[in-house]
Amino acid sequence: MFKFVIRFSLAVAVTFSCIDGVAQSSPDLLVVNQGDRDVSVVDLAVGRVIGKVPVGGVTGHEVAVTPDGRTAFVPVYGNSGVGRAGTDGNSMAVVDVERRMVKGTVDFGHGVRRTVRCTT
């Protein structure tokens, strides 16, 4: 029997800039780096990281991007998997993709990490 342990987790979103309804030829890839607590911006045309945005918190999990590719949302749930002990995050970072910076934070006012337990 083999045992695999995942030491990192990432979430990705591809952004496309649109001008007059036409998608531009070099989309960016956004990668959430849980361990580093940031979002990498990867230029797919050249295949390299062109910037990083620290999102703070422990720790960002997913990323969603507006249709115009200008704003990304990174929920900060906590530092462990579902059903495991850990912090209970209460915020979401709002990222300005073009400027590569957090332009705001949504504070939910309470923990939003859900614990789900499976039983047989």
Read off the tokens for 89: 């995050």
Tell me whether residue 87 is in a domain: yes
Distances (CA, A) of 44 to 31, 39, 67, 69: 12, 15, 18, 14
Q: Report CA-CA distances (Å) from 93 to 6, 37, 54.
A: 25, 11, 10
Range of 9-18, 19-28, 48-57 with top mean pLDDT = 48-57
- For residue 49, the model assigns a pLDDT of 93
Q: Are 14 and 44 in contact (CB under 8 A)?
A: yes
Q: Is the peptide bond before 59 cis (omega within 30 degrees of 0)?
A: yes
Question: Which two tokens mark 20?
Answer: 């007059």
Higher-pLDDT residue of 103 and 21 is 103
In a domain, 112, yes or no: no
Residue 118 lies in a domain: no
Q: What pLDDT, on the 0 to 100 scale, is given for residue 81? A: 65
| Residue 14 resides in a domain | yes
Best CA proximity match to 92, nearest among 53, 59, 51, 52: 59
Domain that holds residue 37: 10-107
Q: Structurally, how many domains does the chain consist of?
A: 1
pLDDT value at position 73? 93
Q: Tell me, what's the pLDDT at 6?
A: 34
**pLDDT: which is higher, 2 or 118:** 118
At 120, is the pLDDT very low, low, confident or very high (cuts 50, 70, 90)?
low
| 117 located within any domain | no
Residue 84 lies in a domain: yes
pLDDT in tens, 33-88: 888 889 999 988 888 999 999 987 777 878 999 888 889 999 887 777 666 777 77
